[in-house]
Amino acid sequence: MAHHDSLGVAVIGAGRMGADHIRRITEVTSGAHVAAVVDVDTDRAKALAAGVGGCDAFDDVAEALASPEVDAVLLASPGIAHEAALLTAFDHDLPVLCEKPLTPDAASALRVLEAEQRLGHRRVQVGFMRRYDREYVRLKALLDSGELGRTLMLHNRHRNPSCPPEFTSAMLINDSVTHEMDITRWLLGQEITAVTVMRPKPSGTAPEGLADPQFVVFETDGGALVDVEIYVNARYGYQVQAEAVCEYGSARIGDRHEMLVNREGRWGGSVTPGFVERFDEAYDREVQAWVDATRRGEVTGPGVWDGYAVAAVCEAGVRSLTEGRRVEVELVDRPALYS
């Protein structure tokens, strides 16, 4: 590797997430540097690359990944472009940290799954960063310890202050609840087998025609029931909470009681304004863990199977949303590579 054993990373996608990851690798992460920035918007790629120094800008993924300076790939382009980029990375046997979604649907995710199996070893970590959040890590450790017994139910709340104007009712499932799909599977060590999406009368704060909020129920193969309240125009701030109800107790995270202030007849704390502030440290830990594992020649964290399973749950969720009924999740058998 160039740069004295520092991992040369090609960042594909120079939008908000890509730019944030370029900053992160340059300023926060140890053991890696940005070797290439790739975006169809050449000017944007060049501007970001210029800010790094010793970094090349590309508008073509294949050309960038063929560069001898590139040891690994961070994929932050729109989901629709992921499959082609992943297959190109496989051609070069390069490790990839792929922002969610793995791909936009289960069929394309399955193609990636099959391609990685043909490669014969795991190469992809999928960016479900909540697995690296300290509160979720503590909750997972507690549930795994068994001291509270089996988890019976998991309650999730996921609230955003507002959503982009192009947001659709299906995107609440595909872009937002997707996080709860992965974290449910990870916390419980179970697959989601069915999804039911219910819609209360939309909030007056939601744009015309947007089904917001939604109430989503998962069933798992371990017999747990999981609910997710997703509300993307809650106005007051960004909040993610989870409570596991177990046989001998319960545990709740996401209240963020760092400092409570009493003043002028009121008490309270603050609510983070957005996901970047809430999960900034989790992103830092995720990228560092990926870099460390890659330099050891390992792939850890959520993988292609997790990305595929979530894509399949998303499809069932969107069908439930549009058809107004419970929909079972269709999954292929889990290949040995991911056992």
Our count of domains for the chain comes to 2
Nearest to 328 by CA among 192, 194, 181: 194
Q: What is the pLDDT of residues 252-306, one digit of tens each?
A: 999 876 788 898 999 888 888 898 889 999 999 999 999 999 999 999 999 999 9
Distances (CA, A) of 198 to 101, 242, 281, 312: 23, 19, 33, 19
Same domain, 295 and 315: no
How many C-beta atoms surround the C-beta of residue 32 within 10 A?
25
Same domain, 108 and 214: no
pLDDT of residue 4: 58
Contact yes or no for 287/29 (Cβ under 8 A): yes
How far apart are alpha carbons 38 and 217 in whole angstroms?
Answer: 39
| Domain region containing 112 | 2-130+281-302
In the block, which residue shows the tokens 């993924």?
A: 61
Upper half-sphere CA count for residue 194 (Cβ side, 13 Å): 11
Residue 224 pLDDT > 60, yes or no?
yes
Same domain, 6 and 31: yes
Tokens of 284: 């830092």
Same domain, 188 and 263: yes
Burial (0-12, 13-18, 19+ Cβ within 10 Å), 144: exposed
Same domain, 202 and 86: no
How many C-beta atoms surround the C-beta of residue 11 within 10 A?
31
Q: Which amino acid does the sequence have at 50?
A: A
Same domain, 166 and 193: yes
Instruction: Find the CATH number of the domain harbouring 59.
Output: 3.40.50.720
Q: Which of 3-12, 134-143, 199-208 has the lowest mean pLDDT?
A: 3-12
Same domain, 185 and 320: yes
Distances (CA, A) of 315 to 228, 230, 266: 16, 17, 45
How far apart are alpha carbons 4 and 10 in whole angstroms?
Answer: 17
Q: Whole-angstrom distance between the N-terminal and C-terminal Cα of the chain?
A: 31
Residue 136 pLDDT > 60, yes or no?
yes
Contact yes or no for 309/315 (Cβ under 8 A): no
pLDDT of residue 89: 98
Tokens of 40: 């169809």
Confidence category of residue 1, pLDDT binned at 50, 70, 90: very low
Tell me what the mean pLDDT of segment 308-327 comes to: 98
Same domain, 107 and 62: yes
Same domain, 172 and 68: no
How many C-beta atoms surround the C-beta of residue 339 within 10 A?
6
Instruction: Find the CATH number of the domain harbouring 322.
Output: 3.30.360.10
Contact yes or no for 18/77 (Cβ under 8 A): yes
Question: What is the pTM (predicted TM-score) of this model?
Answer: 0.95
Confidence category of residue 40, pLDDT binned at 50, 70, 90: very high
Same domain, 272 and 285: no
SS3 per-residue string spanning 62-95: HHHHCCCCCCEEEECCCHHHHHHHHHHHHHCCCC
Same domain, 190 and 323: yes
Same domain, 76 and 177: no
pLDDT of residue 3: 53
